[in-house]
Chains A and B, each alone.
Chain A
Amino acid sequence: MKNTYVLALNFFVLATNVPAQTQWPSLNGDESGRRYSTLKQINVQNAAKLAPAWKFKPATGATVVKGTPIVVDGVLYFTVPDHVWAVNAATGKEIWHFNRPSRGDRIANRGVAYYKGKLYFGTPDAHLVCLRADNGRKLWETPMADVHFGYYMSNPPMVVKDKLIVGISGDAGDVTGFLKAVDPESGKVLWTWTSVPKWGEPGSETWPSQEALLHGGGTTWVQGSYDPELNLIYWGTGNPHPVLNGRDRAGSNLYTCSIVALNADTGKLVWYFQPSPHDTTDRDATESVVLIDGVFRGQPRKMLAQASRNGYFFLLDRKTGDHLLTTSFGPQNWSLGLNKRGEPIPDPKRDPSPAGTLLQGSGTNWWVPSFSPATGMFYVNANIGVWSLTYLTNGAVQGGLDDHQGGRESALSPGDPALLALDYQTGEVRWRVGYGNPAGILTTAGGLLFTSNSNYLVAMDQTNGKTVWKTNVGGPASNAPITYEVGGKQYVVMSVRDTLYSFVLPE
């Protein structure tokens, strides 16, 4: 596996020598976050013939399958909150089902991690659970955070060498975010990095008080990426607290709404970049941090790209954190431009106010994007030109705070959802298809892009956005598409509502 990954990372150079990756062993297929598969049995020429292979509707516990499956050794594993299923990846027949009831936020569970015959997943009450992959029996569990403060786990850990990197969800109780490295054998925590610095350390000067910092937010609820050569973990962090009230937290509020690079062995911060300094409208920067190897202005570079929730596309040098490119992929009225680091400068006039502030924004969210090394395009389902009124409501009663939001947002106009193909070197929109869905994206060496559009599951030509296959099974995709090969056959799997759907080429 590891060899396959290293080769895949150098795809630009070694395009013809790469063995096809038949498995889909982690949330995004590999640690690069690109969601690009080297499989090409299904391709632009034949995808129109795609037909249903099997479907799987969990018998219990699922109203919407938001989890993205993984596939290892012919077995597909997926989750909904409190539940894990193992399913034969070729037939869709259930192998085992695990259920651990809990009380906690069950808005979503995104899947499991696999490492040496064991599975790892997070629960609504913020426990990390280890199961045997062959029979689903629990080996151990350990709390990652205190559910009493609204913490929960929606994402599975990311496997980095011999460690599990665990992010955390939940912002209701004014908590701070963190990443933990956990020993996959024992569940022991090996290091912890918190999303806010310790009081007195560098970065704490971006908070007005220790009290504000200790309740500053920055959860880590979307999976990051990893560069084995640099031994750096990359992760996006969530919004600061209170969410809409910036008055009680003057400063840029590091390391919330940031992209951070951590040493994988120690958890020490190596560099940071802040997509939304002093955020006051929930524009967290947790979206996928995608590793790109290629050229930039004629020079070969190791890069990192993020299409952020604030409507900006960022391209960074991932060794140094140096900023290469910041472009906007939709209109907004809250930014005064860019600072020297390439970070947007928020306009204080656009902060939520008691009388209401007219705000326009564009952006994306947790649904994962994809980068295709074959086209050099970064694909993202975005929402363009959303209008709202934002209110600062704190202080309505004595005590200053009303709630963890600190304000309200009144929706005016929902914007235009669209699938965008961005040129990573310029940020330019090379093509666009309207009526995008809030769904993940997969690209393949078959020249295809799989996602959901107009409530159809679709395959498009990744060079131009032309639809080559579509099927309507009752709504938009509720997770991200994956692909794998079992028994010489390539499968594509996506979920709609409470069911997983699998597609293959007919015999």
Chain B
Amino acid sequence: MKIRLAVQLCIGVVGLAAPLAAQGSRWWSWPADPDPQAVERGRPEFVRSCGRCHADNLTGTAKGPNLIRTARLRKDADGTAVAAVVRAGIPARTAGGSAADGKAMPSFQLADEAMSDLIAYMRWAVQKYDRVSPGAPPDDYPVERLLTGNAAAGKAFFNGAGGCNACHSPTGDLAGIAKKYPPVFLQARFLMPRPTKPRTADVTLPSGEKVSGELKVLNTYDVTLVSGGKTLTWPAEQVKVDVHDPLAPHRALLPKYKDDDVHNMFAYLWTLQ
């Protein structure tokens, strides 16, 4: 049972550890990035022995300090300084201490290999803390956090102020939408979907002739259309361009959302299971 669990953990979380290591060249690190296998072997030991006071992610609790911010961990090139503390514990600075043995931090006797795995996990946690991207939340972001709105109010917005029902239907294109996407993804994409159709444009040439097609380039200087299988480019200053953006209604709606509308709309769409 124990072994099976360890294997499952390994498979389940290796994917998390690997990308951090792969980014190594952009970042400061110890002489070597922690080995993902060692990280997963060290994780349960840390959670069991250290997490209660230092938090499983090393950011500290009322009982024990934040280890992410300690020089001892970050500057310990070969792991010996951290191992020494784990094995010796830390004597209580004040009478009584906090641990059963009277120490401020109890000592833990680990074999060399287990110690090296424990340190690999701690290093991985530091890297995870430092290197996190500020982008979208992960797909497993809990739906409970997003469900602060009122589904009935969301439905009213959908059919009323939002005007969503002009293009969408809960029994048509949106049927079962809540099952199709992770909740945090659904919330971002109902506000601004990823385009499924390209932008098109009507280009009016100096002669008055009109050409329509898929818009490939539009900037200060160039307009490029694909029309009838041909790629056509004009200087932007010589033509008139009418762009048809399939997402235009979504763009126009963004400034109109009131605070609650977003959460009400999400609550409503989440009912479309």
* Set of chain A residues within 8 Å of B132, measured between Cβ atoms: 402-405
In this assembly, does B168 line the interface, its C-beta being within 8 Å of a C-beta of chain A? no
| Min CB gap B52→A, angstroms | 9
Task: Give Cα A172–Cα B25 distance, bound, in whole angstroms.
Answer: 15
CA distance A426 to B217 in the complex (A): 35
- Please determine whether B145 and A411 come into contact, CB atoms closer than 8 angstroms: no
Mark contacts of B1-38 with chain A using CB atoms, 8 A cut-off: 1 yes-contact digit, 0 otherwise: 00000000000000000000000011111000000000
Contact flag A215-B137 (CB < 8 Å), given A398-B55, A454-B222: no
Chain B residues positioned under 8 Å from A407 (CB to CB):
134
Task: Say whether A410 contacts B56, CB under 8 Å.
Answer: no
A375-408 vs B, CB cutoff 8 Å, 1 = contact: the mask equals 0000000000001010101001111111111011
Question: What is the CA–CA distance of A397 and B41 in the complex, to the nearest angstrom?
Answer: 21
Docked CA distance A360–B75 (Å):
41
Interface SS majority for chain A: loop
With A and B bound together, what is the CA distance between A173 and B75 in angstroms?
Answer: 13
In contact, A104 and B136 (Cβ under 8 angstroms): no
| CB pair A387 B254 closer than 8 Å | yes
Q: In the bound complex, do residue A389 and residue B59 qualify as a contact, i.e. CB atoms below 8 Å apart?
A: no
Mark the stretch among B89-97, B152-160, B183-191 that contacts chain A. B183-191
Are the C-beta atoms of B59 and A401 separated by less than 8 Å?
Answer: yes
CA distance A409 to B129 in the complex (A): 16
Q: Which of A357, A393, A398, A433 contacts B220 (CB 8 A)?
A: A433
* Closest CB in chain B relative to A418 CB, distance in Å: 10
On whether the beta carbons of B128 and A403 are closer than 8 Å, the reply is yes
Q: A103-B28, A393-B137, A412-B192 are in contact. Are A402 and B57 (CB under 8 A)?
A: yes
Contact assessment for A435 and B137 in the assembled complex, using a CB-CB cutoff below 8 Å: no
A427-459: which residues lie under 8 A (CB-CB) from chain B?
433-435, 453-456
User: Could you give, for residues 144-171 of chain A, a 1 whenever the CB lies within 8 Å of some chain B CB and a 0 otherwise?
Assistant: 0011111010000000000000000000
**Is the beta-carbon distance between A389 and B188 smaller than 8 angstroms?**
yes
List residues of chain A with CB within 8 A of the CB of B255: 331, 333, 360
**How far, in angstroms, from A360 to B251 measured CA to CA in the complex?**
12
A410 x B220 contact (CB < 8 A): no
Q: Which of B56, B129, B254, B257 contacts A404 (CB 8 A)?
A: B129
Give the residues in chain B near A470, CB-CB below 8 Å.
Answer: 221
Binds B, one of A228-236, A265-273, A335-343, A348-356: A348-356
Q: Is the interface of B mostly helix, strand, loop or mixed?
A: loop
Chain B neighbourhood of A456, CB < 8 A: 220-221
Q: Which chain B residues numbered 56 to 114 have a C-beta less than 8 Å away from chain A?
A: 56-61, 66, 68-69, 71, 74-75
Report Cα–Cα, A70/B228, bound state, in Å: 50
**Given A397-B55, A405-B132, A408-B137, A435 and B27 contact (CB-CB distance below 8 Å):** no
- Point out the residues of chain B lying under 8 angstroms from A453, CB to CB: 219-221
Cα–Cα distance between A139 and B60 once the two chains are bound (Å): 43
A119-161 Cβ-contact flags toward B at 8 Å (1 or 0)? 0000011000000000000000000001111101000000000
Point out the residue from B71, B135, B259 that lies within 8 Å of A409, measured CB to CB: B135
**A282 adjacent to chain B (CB < 8 Å):** yes
Min CB–CB distance A330 → chain B (angstroms): 13
**In the bound complex, do residue A125 and residue B251 qualify as a contact, i.e. CB atoms below 8 Å apart?**
no
A-chain residues with CB within 8 Å of residue B131 when the two chains form the complex: 172
What is the CA–CA distance of A146 and B145 in the complex, to the nearest angstrom? 38
In the docked arrangement, what's the CA distance between A467 and B51, Å? 62
- What residue in chain B is nearest A244 (Cβ atoms)? B134
Query: Is there contact, CB below 8 Å, between A148 and B134?
Result: no
Bits for A83-109, please: 1 = Cβ < 8 Å to B, else 0.
000000000000000000001111100
Contacts of B251 in A (CB 8 A): 413
Query: Taking the complex as formed, is B43 at the interface, i.e. its CB lies under 8 A from any CB of chain A?
Result: no
Q: How far is the CA of A402 from the CA of B145 in the complex (A)?
A: 16
Q: For the side of the interface on B, what is the size category?
A: 35 or more
Complex Cα–Cα for A148 and B74 (A): 6
Do residues B192 and A387 form an inter-chain contact, with CB atoms below 8 A? yes
A152 to B130, alpha carbons, bound, how many Å? 13
Return the chain B residue nearest A389 by Cβ.
B188
User: Which among A105, A107, A357 has the highest number of chain B CB atoms within 10 Å?
Assistant: A105
Size class of the contact patch on chain A: 35 or more
The answer to the question of B146 belonging to the interface, with a C-beta cut-off of 8 Å to chain A, is: yes
Query: When the two chains form their complex, are residues A105 and B26 in contact, meaning their CB atoms are under 8 A apart?
Result: yes
Contact present for A399 and B61 (CB under 8 Å): yes
Known: A355-B263, A397-B57, A403-B129. A389 touches B191 (CB 8 A): yes
CA of A404 to CA of B263 in the docked complex: distance in angstroms? Answer: 27
Q: Is B201 an interface residue (CB 8 A)?
A: no
**A235 CA to B259 CA, complexed, in Å:** 36
Closest B residue by C-beta to A151:
B28
Cβ-based interface call for B262 (8 A):
yes
Judging by beta carbons under 8 Å apart, are A467 and B220 in contact? yes
Say whether B129 contacts A413, CB under 8 Å. no
Report B-chain residues with C-beta under 8 Å of the C-beta of A412.
Answer: 188, 191-192, 254
Interface membership of A181, Cβ < 8 A: no
Q: Which residues of B contact A173 (CB under 8 A)?
A: 68-69, 74, 130
In whole Å, how far is A437's beta carbon from the nearest beta carbon of chain B?
10
Is A179 at the interface (CB under 8 A from chain B)?
A: no
Indicate whether A391 sits within 8 Å of B141 (C-beta atoms), given known contacts A411-B135, A467-B221. yes
Task: Name B54's closest neighbour in chain A (CB-CB).
Answer: A399
Whether the pair B188, A172 counts as a contact (CB closer than 8 A) is no
Question: Smallest distance from the beta carbon of B101 to chain A beta carbons, Å?
Answer: 24
* A349 CB contact (under 8 Å) in B75, B149, B259: B259
* Residue of A with least CB distance to B184: A410
Contact B26 A454 (CB under 8 A): no
Contacts of B263 in A (CB 8 A): 355-356
User: In the bound complex, do residue A147 and residue B220 qualify as a contact, i.e. CB atoms below 8 Å apart?
Assistant: no
Contact residues in B for A455 (Cβ distance below 8 Å): 219
Nearest A residue to B247 via CB reads A413
**A174 touches B (CB below 8 Å):** yes
B231 CB–A CB distance under 8 Å: no
State whether the Cβ of B148 lies closer than 8 Å to any Cβ in chain A. yes
A326→B143 CA distance, assembly (Å): 41
Question: Which of chain B's residues have a CB closer than 8 A to the CB of A261?
Answer: none
**Is A408 within 8 A of B134, CB to CB?**
yes
Closest to A409 in B: B134
| Residue pair A215, B69 in contact (C-beta under 8 Å) | yes
- What would be 6 A-B contacts, judged by CB atoms less than 8 Å apart? A148-B28, A243-B134, A401-B59, A403-B129, A403-B130, A453-B219
Other than A356-B262, A453-B221, give 16 A-B pairs with Cβ distance below 8 A: A146-B75, A172-B129, A172-B131, A174-B68, A349-B259, A358-B191, A358-B257, A389-B191, A391-B141, A398-B51, A399-B55, A399-B56, A409-B134, A412-B254, A434-B219, A435-B220
**B interface residues (Cβ-Cβ under 8 A, vs A):** 25-29, 51, 54-61, 66, 68-69, 71, 74-75, 128-137, 141-142, 145-149, 184, 187-188, 191-192, 219-222, 251, 254-255, 257, 259, 262-263
8 nearest A-B pairs in the assembled complex, by CB-CB distance: A399-B55, A454-B219, A172-B130, A148-B74, A403-B132, A399-B59, A410-B136, A412-B192
